[in-house]
Amino acid sequence: MAYKANAQDSIGNNKQEKKVLQLINSLPEIISGNEKRSPQRLMHAYIEDIPTSKNRFYKVSVCDNFAGRLFTYYRFRVYLPDYSIYYDDFNNGKLVPLKLWHKQPYGIYSK
């Protein structure tokens, strides 16, 4: 049974979603970014879309919630069944493998 997720909290509705959110929230960019931010503006992963029979990716945004509004900093896709992570370079229509993305000057907290 497939359903479409609306922007939900950063907790997840089942084991799979919890694992996806934990993987993204554990990325070094998110951890180091949150160390530089105020507690009111911490970044969290939110599931935008779930896998279907035709598209095996979770679509995940990394946002902060400020004054009741989500501000997006990163977008990722997590492939099932192996949970491999890709940076969603939607401006260029590309999915960049995480290892390659770590070598690129993308994102506000890249090294």
What average pLDDT does range 79-96 have in this prediction? 92
Across the chain, mean pLDDT equals 85
The dihedral through the CA atoms of 29, 11, 93, 91 has a sign that is negative
Are 79 and 56 within 8 A, CB to CB? Answer: yes
pTM: 0.83
User: What are the tens digits of pLDDT across the range 33-65?
Assistant: 899 998 889 999 999 999 999 999 999 999 998
